[in-house]
């Protein structure tokens, strides 16, 4: 009987040993398979072991809701019809008037009164200036004086945050000094400009400078173009007076012209027509076309422009027009309580187009 019990005991041990071996083999096989799968997916990182004091089960608790990802920030688009209008105000003697308040102004667009706001203290908003030199051979004798006087003007009118670009009006438009806020470097760079061009592409240069002002300047600045030229165009290939007027208005730029030829231009129909064209550009944009009596008066003219820019109001309004049709809209600016004052502002602007 004892041998029967021993046999049964040995048989049970054998079965247990076989079963244990199978379990160990399956476990090893499972680990090997899992390792191969992990190695086959190199882009997936192994889960980090739980930190001290944190149980593995708590990290993988299926009852715990997964965190909801934060929604992406919504892009808010604001459409505005804000129109900026630089306004120069002088008394009967031509002196700038600086003490007006926003409520003193009345502004209409296509005959409809608008709600006016101030976009900055008078004369304090930044200036983006384009200075244009006529470099035809006819100005050779007076060019050095013009350049020197213009340099003094730049030092006086430009403040920190303002910038200047210089163009040459020759046989073709030329960017002579790229946009810079360093006045001294701009003045130094003008020494390389030489008046040796046989012809002048006046309107082509005004249009190119308008595009440059429009493309390079920041919002909320006053864009100003100052031109030293007689306005005679002998070589423009693409543009004429109407084109120059339109592009200045699209750029929201003030146009100031200084014709150093003197009153003798009235003896020549071509010269008279050229100067009258610059008067049109100035009147449509809120600037001035000067015709000094003699070359020595350039300093006085530049000082007048400086005084005006330093006292200039920058008004703004949200247009009440409902459609953005890209059409030209006429505006008028008045100071009803001070009818004796002289108001200069651009005559209108081109609306945006949807």
The two tokens of residue 129 are 């200036």
**Quick one: 271 exposed, middle or buried, by C-beta within 10 A (0-12, 13-18, 19+)?**
middle
Low-confidence residues in the chain, pLDDT < 70 = 1-80
Tokens read off for 59: 């990290």
pLDDT tens by residue, 85-131: 999 999 999 899 999 999 999 999 999 999 999 998 899 999 999 99
- 86 contact partners, CB below 8 Å, separation of at least 6: 222, 254, 286, 312, 313, 314, 315, 345, 346
Give the pLDDT of residue 76: 35
pLDDT score at 61? 52
Q: What was the pLDDT predicted at 46?
A: 45
Determine the pLDDT at residue 307.
94
State the pLDDT at residue 323.
Answer: 86
Residue with tokens 């046999």: 7
Instruction: Find the helix or strand (DSSP H, E) in which 10 lies.
Output: helix 2-40
pLDDT for the residue 284:
97
Residue 24's pLDDT is 37
pLDDT digits (tens, 9 = 90+) for 210-258: 999 999 888 789 999 999 999 999 999 999 999 999 999 999 999 999 9
């Amino acid at each position: 009987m004892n041998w029967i019990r021993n046999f049964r005991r040995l048989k049970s041990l054998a079965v247990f040993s076989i079963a244990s071996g199978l379990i160990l083999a399956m476990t090893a096989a499972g680990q090997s398979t899992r390792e191969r799968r992990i190695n086959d997916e190199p882009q997936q990182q192994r889960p980090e072991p739980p930190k001290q004091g944190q149980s593995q089960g708590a990290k993988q608790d299926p009852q715990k809701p997964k965190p909801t990802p934060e929604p992406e920030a919504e892009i808010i688009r604001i459409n505005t019809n804000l129109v900026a209008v630089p306004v120069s105000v002088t008394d009967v003697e031509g002196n700038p008037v600086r003490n007006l308040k926003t409520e003193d102004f009345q502004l209409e667009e296509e005959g409809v009164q608008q709600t006016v706001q101030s976009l900055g203290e008078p004369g304090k908003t930044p200036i983006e200036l384009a200075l244009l030199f006529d470099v035809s051979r006819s100005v050779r004798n007076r060019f050095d004086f013009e350049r020197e006087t213009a340099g003094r003007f730049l030092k006086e009118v430009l403040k920190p945050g303002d910038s200047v670009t210089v163009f040459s009006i020759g046989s073709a438009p030329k960017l002579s000094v790229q946009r810079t806020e360093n006045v001294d470097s701009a003045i130094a760079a003008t020494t390389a400009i030489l008046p040796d061009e046989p012809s002048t592409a006046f309107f082509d240069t005004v249009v190119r400078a308008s595009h440059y002002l429009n493309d390079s300047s920041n919002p909320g600045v006053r864009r100003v173009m100052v031109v030293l030229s007689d306005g005679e165009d002998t070589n423009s290939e693409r543009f004429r007076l109407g084109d120059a007027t339109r592009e200045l208005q699209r750029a929201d730029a003030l146009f100031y012209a200084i014709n150093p030829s003197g009153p003798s231009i009235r003896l020549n129909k071509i010269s008279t027509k050229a100067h009258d064209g610059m008067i049109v550009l100035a009147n449509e944009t809120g600037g001035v076309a000067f015709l000094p009596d003699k070359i020595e008066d350039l300093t006085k003219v530049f000082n007048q422009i400086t005084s005006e820019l330093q006292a200039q109001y920058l008004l703004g309004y949200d247009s009440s027009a409902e459609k953005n049709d890209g059409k030209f809209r006429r505006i008028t600016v008045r100071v009803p309580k001070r009818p004796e004052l002289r108001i200069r502002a651009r005559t209108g602007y081109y609306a945006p187009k949807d």
